[in-house]
Amino acid sequence: MAAPHNPNTAPARRAKKTKARVLAENAGTLEALRLKVWRCLNRVEEILVDETADPLVTLKAVHAFTQATGCYIKLTEAGEFEARLEALETVVKAPGSKNGAYR
């Protein structure tokens, strides 16, 4: 049976919007995320080199390592593209630049 309708849902909606705003403000940067993934990779590597680890745990660590490695590579590439784009935008906005056309 469905719950009865609650006409006073405004507080719940406001709380949801506040939570979304806080999450958006604390989203972080590519570099911060890349460093978190790097720490995860280091932790997984500790599990992989542990000779006493359960084989099932080791198998899960291998999977986590491959997934995190792909994520780390994409974050690194995105950071490099971001830096290159900033450099190009700086050149385009430089005095004497003709709307981004090469001289």
Domain ranges for the chain: 30-93
Residue 90, CA distances (Å) to 30, 43, 84, 99 in order: 20, 39, 10, 12
pLDDT tens profile 9-44: 777 777 777 766 665 666 688 888 899 999 999 999
The mean pLDDT value of the chain amounts to: 83
pLDDT of residue 8: 73
Compute CA distances 76 → 7, 26, 37, whole Å: 48, 20, 11
Phi then psi dihedrals of residue 98, to 5 deg = -95, 75
Report the SS3 class of residue 102: coil
Would you tell me how many other CB atoms lie within 10 Å of the CB of residue 5?
6
